Amino acid sequence: MSEFGGPAYRALRRRRSHSKVTEEAPSREELEAYVAAMASVSDHSRMRPWRIIELRGKDRKKLAKGIAKASGEDRGKHVAKMTRAPLVLVIVVSPGDTRKVPLWEQEAVASGVAHLLGLLLHESGWGSIWKSGTHTRSKAVRKALGVRKPEYLLGWLHVGGIPERDRAEKPRKPLDLARHLSGPG
């Protein structure tokens, strides 16, 4: 058995969401390495029912356009939100045979990818924040990104550098373990 409090434990305890990031972002090569690491995510039947859409530069506006169309709101508002980070990683659920593995379980795999990717980015010195919303699974958003059924969006990570002022570790509010860890009944 390994020592309690190893690297993965420490990484998880330090992870934070960063709503404000700098204009730096992981390179394509770094991103490929992070995505390749997702091969270890728990996944029944090794279906890998997910993919990631990388949005940089003007491509980030495609997501904003889809959300604006779905919501009927001002496009400029959504463009401002989608361009606040230099990189947006859209997590797509790509379901396979649901007779073999139920859809909810395939979505759980994609969720695991999203959150482990966020952890890996943070541990590598990048800031990110997970986002989704009412219109995440709308036809307009799928169309804007070229996502066709049966695929659908789960959400996205805004990714960039961590500003100097946000680099210090901040303690988290402790969990109520009696609520979050229990026996049967």
Query: Which residue numbers belong to the known binding site for FMN?
Result: 15-17, 44, 130-132
- Known binding-site residue numbers: 15-17, 44, 130-132
The C-alpha atoms of residue 100 and residue 86 are separated, in whole angstroms, by: 38
Looking at residue 169, its pLDDT comes to 82
Q: Where are the domains of the chain?
A: 22-162
Write out the H or E segment, with its range, that includes residue 78.
helix 75-82
**What strands lie across the sheet with 87-93, from one edge to the other?**
50-56, 87-93, 152-161, 126-131
Return the exposure string of 18-41: e unless at least 16 CB atoms fall within 10 Å of the residue's CB, then b.
beebbeebbeeeebeebbeebeeb
**pLDDT for 2:** 64
Assess contact for 132 and 90: CB atoms under 8 A.
no
The predicted structure's pLDDT at residue 83: 94
Cβ pair 154, 91 in contact under 8 A:
yes
Distance set, CA 137 to CA 65, 84, 147, 152, 160 (Å): 14, 22, 10, 6, 25
19 and 129 in contact (C-beta within 8 Å)?
A: yes
Residue type (1 letter), 185: G
Instruction: Give the pTM.
Output: 0.93
Q: What is the pLDDT along the chain (185 residues), one digit of tens a residue?
A: 666 788 888 889 889 999 999 999 999 999 999 999 999 999 878 899 999 999 999 999 999 999 999 999 888 889 999 999 999 999 999 999 888 899 999 999 999 999 999 999 999 999 999 999 999 999 999 999 999 999 999 999 999 999 999 888 888 899 999 999 999 98
Radius of gyration over alpha carbons of the chain, in Å?
Answer: 18
The pLDDT score that the predictor gives to residue 43 is 86
Domain 22-162 has CATH 3.40.109.10: yes
